[in-house]
Structure 1
Amino acid sequence: MTDRFLKLLELSQAGFYCSQILLIIGLEAQGKENPDLVRAMSGLVGGLGFSGRTCGALTGGACLIGLYAGKGSVEEIEDSRVNDMIREFAEWFEQEASSQYSGSTCDIILEKNPQNRASRCPDLVLKTLDKVEEILEANGYDLSGRLEI
């Protein structure tokens, strides 16, 4: 088991889900904590409030890109490539999930069975983290271990 997988398992056992886990890892990599942001991410889990819609790994991955490249204050300037990065990620995610599960919604990925979370979500979240890292690095973000656990 990798350190990333163990961290994911630890956060999952603490009651966090896909989108929250991705942002917690991103925040920790920056040496930050933001319980309000993590709490807000709970709206994305389970396909938007466990409604089975858009997968929280997809929305969480997009938010993780935004954490690094988006605008967070009046003084900041959003990276002009942020939406291109998110689109690239979304296209990858759609292909990845569809090739593995025939679709990319939570209901399809989990076959409408929440018990499948344990066997399907960790791999998809880890792949999401890797892909987000790849996209950010390709766009000049020096992550040098910042998303490593």
Structure 2
Amino acid sequence: MEHLTTGTETIKGENMTTTTRVTVAMDLLQAGYSCSEALVLAYADDLQLDSSLALKLASGFAGGMGDRYGTCGVMTAACLVIGLVAGPDEISNPASRNRVRGLVAAFREGFAADHGALACGDLNGGFDPASQEGKVAIRAGGRVQRLVARAVQRLDALLDRP
């Protein structure tokens, strides 16, 4: 299992807290990762998920599912994290499937209450996430950072993580 490295330190899953996950996610955003990638990668080591696989899993969610203004990449990446933490190991486990649905619903409702929308196009201040100028403007305004930081806080509370 490779460990996620940010800056000069390696953060290992057993040392992660909400504060360190937010810090890791902010470092990843600063390094150029997308919102969805930063969110999933902030949990990868903790979930014993190889960081290259985590990156691949999250990469299509950015910019509202491929820069198309759909559901926010932070929202969809959070669904992925919830599934990885609480999802069923086999299809015959309906209680686990129902738990995931409930957690996703709670996250979605909280996300919408926190930010007023679920769609990337409504959350990014009118900037085009597909253009380089739009990406720079979205990050410069702190929008992505706020979305990701609040998502980590909300996920950790819902999933009862430290």
TM category, shorter: 0.7 to 0.9
Answering whether residue 135 of structure 2 is matched by residue 112 of structure 1, we say: no
| Residue in 2 that maps onto 1:93 | 111
Pairwise CA RMSD of aligned residues? 2.3
- Alignment CA distance shift 1:76-1:42 (3 Å): farther
Structure 2 SS opposite 1:81: helix
Structure 2 letter corresponding to 1:56: G
Contact 2:47 2:85 in 1 (8 A): no
> How far apart in 1 are the matches of 2:152 and 2:22?
11
- Alignment CA distance shift 1:76-1:85 (3 Å): same
Deviations 1:55-83 (A, max 9, x none): 011111111111101135x5995724111
> How far apart in 1 are the matches of 2:151 and 2:68?
21
Give the % identical residues.
26
> How far apart in 1 are the matches of 2:31 and 2:158?
29
Deviation at 1:135, TM superposition (A): 0.8
> How far apart in 2 are the matches of 1:35 and 1:77?
29
Structure 2 letter corresponding to 1:57: V
> How far apart in 1 are the matches of 2:153 and 2:60?
23
The correspondence for 1:82, drawn from 100, 103, 120, is 100
> How far apart in 2 are the matches of 1:5 and 1:88?
20
Instruction: Tell me the matched-pair count.
Output: 133
Contact 1:52 1:112 in 2 (8 A): no
| Residue in 2 that maps onto 1:61 | 78
Q: Structure 1 length as normaliser, TM-score? A: 0.77
Structure 2 SS opposite 1:71: coil
Greater shift in the superposed pair: 59-68 or 78-87: 78-87
Deviation at 1:18, TM superposition (A): 1.3
Segments of 5+ residues of structure 1 without an aligned counterpart are 138-142
The correspondence for 1:130, drawn from 153, 156, 160, is 153
- Alignment CA distance shift 1:77-1:34 (3 Å): farther
Answering whether residue 42 of structure 2 is matched by residue 18 of structure 1, we say: no
> How far apart in 1 are the matches of 2:29 and 2:71?
19
Segments of 5+ residues of structure 2 without an aligned counterpart are 1-18, 128-133
